[in-house]
Structure 1
Amino acid sequence: MMTRTRPFLLAAALLASTALSALAGEADDQIKAPVLRASVNVSGDIVRVGDLIENAGVAASVAVYRAPDLGTTGVLPAAQVIATLRSHQVIGVDVRDIKEVAVTRLARAIDAKEVGTAVAQALEHRNGLGDAANLSVSFDQPVQDLKFDASTSGTLAPTSVRLDPRSGRFDVTFELGHANGASPTKLRYTGTAIEMVEALVLTRNIDRNEMIRAADLQIERRARAELGGAEPASREFAVGMQMRRPIRAGQALKATDLAKPDLVQRDQTVTLIYQTAGIYLTTRGKALEAGTDGDVVSVLNLQSKRTITGRVTGRGQVSVDITVAKPQQSSEAEIAAPVAVASRLPASATTKAE
């Protein structure tokens, strides 16, 4: 149902004395009868006879009304329209049971959303910013919906773009072209642009070395600046990892905040594994520091009471490669001697009793 707006003004003085009456003077078999239109669209500020009726003939260009405001619709009773046409010598109009005539003035509308999108596209990839779709734009002043003449069919074209990369402050000027050759309309906007990313946010406080569960995480859009230039952690990567440092609830997680879970804990009793080609020996040790898979940690050999270093290779396991062991870490009596004895015995030899 069409909304009624204020009645548009009758242009009583427009060409009243010069209207033509050609329709009344021509033969019925040579011209079609004029027919009233129930709905009219105009692009200018004047409503003419040819807009209101079909088959207007030479009277089509006669101006009879001022058009409504841009983008609005005015409604008049059909009887009033017919009376106006008669005053301009346009007669014999077929009303076709039309009770009222709605006249809409077409317009090029630009709303706040379109302006925000245009600003984001103008700032895209400028001074380190990312894609336009990830930019959150706020304006210094509320952006009003704009309406222009229907001949304004162009897009918002940026002619001047300034951006402060530290504060995100922008100053962008656009031009809006007109198909009728009129000078472009200039529009200027200032405000702040912030690049947003999808980030994992903790739902509770988590201490250092504490394991992360799926329930500890939720996804929110956050300013990239919160991550300090680091990549945001993904849910697939984060679940099952542990924290490198304590982080409070509500903070966004960076990939660098996470580490593989420790397989060896400080002061934990671990299995020390000495191995080289053809030799595999194990003994007990006490971890002097925590470590995850692949970390090099210090371990106290509980049998020799010597501190050695090895690489974490499993939960509660530290491996020492005899071929690369340093003398100050592993003595010959502890490692080399048993290996040498074992290597001198052929596979088929048997040991004789003394």
Structure 2
Amino acid sequence: MTRTRPFLLAAALLASTALSAFAGEADDQIKAPVLRAAVNVTGEIVRVGDLIENAGVAANVAVYRAPDLGTTGVLPAAQVVAALRSHQVIGVDVRDIKEVAVTRLARAIDAKEISAAVAQALDHRNGLGDAASLNVSFDQPVQDLKFDASTSGALAPTNVRFDPRSGRFDISFELGHANGTSPTKLRYTGTAIETVEAVVLTRNMDRNEMIRSGDLQTERRPRADLGGAEPASRELAVGMQMRRPVRAGQPLKATDLAKPDLVQRDQAVTLIYQTAGIYLTTRGKALESGTEGDVVSVLNLQSKRTVTGRVSGRGQVSVDIAVAKPLQTSEAEIPAPVSVASRLPSSATPKAE
């Protein structure tokens, strides 16, 4: 008996060593579960596989209900470990994690995206301009929307109605889902107004006033404010003069502008007489206002005669000089000489001897 005990003990030690070696080999093949600090989920349930890495066969076990769409919930790490333990998930490596943040992913559609979808549905419809020029307002305040992360695609219009007289619209949309569920249906009503980029006066301006850059600012205005006329651009307006009085805050039309007068009525001007080889100037008084190229009447202060000329510059009027051309005739145009005999009366014709 005394010899058997050492043998049994040795056998037991060998068996223990073998089991330890086998266990060590198994530990090398199966990795320990590790807690995650941040978790993203797409559904309504948080599962073991969402919370830890290397969850194994327990990955699909439900643990928590997910937060609301698009929101994040925070759980103490100790609470998470206790919940996992209740589902027979033990030995979780928490590292230095104190809290676990769980975020439920969502498809968000804000009011700006909805407004853009309405404008796109009305693009060039019933006389409207392009979508970018439309100002859309809704009958009810538009709320930001959140859908399940499986929601895909854009808002697709299924029924579009627009009355060009009142500017009212009634549009239905569908929003598809990747998981095969029925699409979400949305409907919006309101008013759409076409706008244009216009230059607006910053002060009241009278007829014939010169427009400077500081007199203008650029705004988007309803096209109806222009009464069907083309809006004036800043580049066109600066340096021009007003054709009519316009109040501050009103958009400028192209028809409101005129070229600046280079000659004002009763202004002292320079009269220029010019032709080939001749260039004369004298003083005059403008009897009319005019811009470049206009024909105006001017009093020649030297001769006291009224002449007409074309405005050629600031304070300058050019007068055309008529030059007599020499008579040019060909031999065919010179009349043939008339015989004297043919002009005498028959009684005066000399008789032959």
TM-score range, shorter chain: 0.7 to 0.9
Q: What SS class does the counterpart of residue 84 from structure 1 fall into?
A: helix
Q: Which runs of structure 2 are paired with 1:80-119 in the superposition (5 Å)?
A: 80-119=79-118
Superposition map of 1:1-354 within 5 A: 28-268=27-267, 270=269, 287-298=286-297, 309-321=308-320, 339-340=323-324
Residues 119-142 of structure 1: per-residue CA shift (max 9 Å, x gap)? 222233333434433333222211
Q: Deviations over 1:45-93 (max 9, x none)?
A: 1112211222221221122222111111222222222222222222332
Paired residue total: 303
Shift of 1:245: 0.4
Query: Match for 1:230: what amino acid?
Result: A
Give, in whole Å, the separation in 1 of the partners of 2:36 and 2:170. Answer: 48
Q: Deviations over 1:245-268 (max 9, x none)?
A: 011122222222111111232344
Per-residue deviation, 1:304: 8.4
Measured in 2, the distance between the counterparts of 1:205 and 1:266 equals 24
Give the drift of 1:213: 2.3
Q: What's the TM-score once normalised by structure 1's chain length?
A: 0.73
Name the structure 2 match of 1:330. Answer: none
Offset of residue 285 of structure 1: 6.0
AA in 2 matched with 1:296: V
Query: 1:305–1:167: structure 2 CA closer, same or farther, 3 Å change rule?
Result: farther
Distance in 2 between the 1:75 and 1:271 partners?
87
Q: Per-residue deviation at 1:44?
A: 0.7
Report deviation, 1:293. Answer: 1.1
Describe the shift of the 1:288–1:128 C-alpha distance in structure 2 as closer, same or farther (beyond 3 A): farther
1:81 is paired with a residue whose SS is helix
Alignment partners' CA distance in 2, 1:75 and 1:269: 86
Aligned-residue RMSD, C-alpha: 3.1
SS of aligned partner of 2:91? coil
Alpha-carbon distance, 1:210 to partner: 1.5
Residue 298 of structure 1: CA displacement?
4.6
Q: Could you tell me how far 1:105 is from its partner in structure 2?
A: 1.1
Matching residue of 1:348: none
The letter of the residue matching 1:79 is A
2:188 partner SS = strand
The answer for the alignment partner of 2:9 in structure 1 is none
The offset of 1:152, in angstroms, is 0.5
Q: Calculate percent identity across the aligned residue pairs.
A: 87
Deviates more, 1:238-247 or 1:155-164: 155-164
Gaps of 5+ in 1: 1-25, 324-338, 345-354
Q: Distance in 2 between matches of 1:193 and 1:83?
A: 57
| 1:5-30 Cα deviation digits (max 9, x unpaired) | xxxxxxxxxxxxxxxxxxxxx95454
| Cα deviation, residue 96, structure 1 | 2.3
Q: Which moved more, 1:47-56 or 1:234-243?
A: 234-243
Cα distance per residue 1:264-310 (max 9 Å; x no partner): 32344555556666676777765443221112345567788887654
| Paired amino acid for 2:35 | L
Q: 1:98 to 1:273 in 2, by over 3 A?
A: closer
- CA distance in structure 1 between the partners assigned to 2:95 and 2:56 by the alignment: 19
1:75 partner amino acid: V
AA at the equivalent of 1:139: F
Deviates more, 1:77-86 or 1:56-65: 77-86
Distance 1:48 1:111 in 2: 30
Specify the SS of the correspondent of 2:103.
Answer: strand
Tell me the secondary structure at the aligned position of residue 70 of structure 1.
coil
For structure 2, which runs of at least 5 residues remain unmatched after alignment?
A: 1-24, 328-353
Question: Partners of 2:257 and 2:115 in 1: how far apart?
Answer: 36
**TM-score, normalised via structure 2 length:** 0.74
Q: Output the CA distance in 2 between the equivalents of 1:29 and 1:314.
A: 97
Q: Distance in 1 between matches of 2:83 and 2:202?
A: 72
Q: Secondary structure, in 3 states, of the residue corresponding to 2:208? A: coil
Q: Which range is displaced more, 284-293 or 172-181?
A: 284-293
Q: Distance in 2 between matches of 1:49 and 1:196?
A: 55
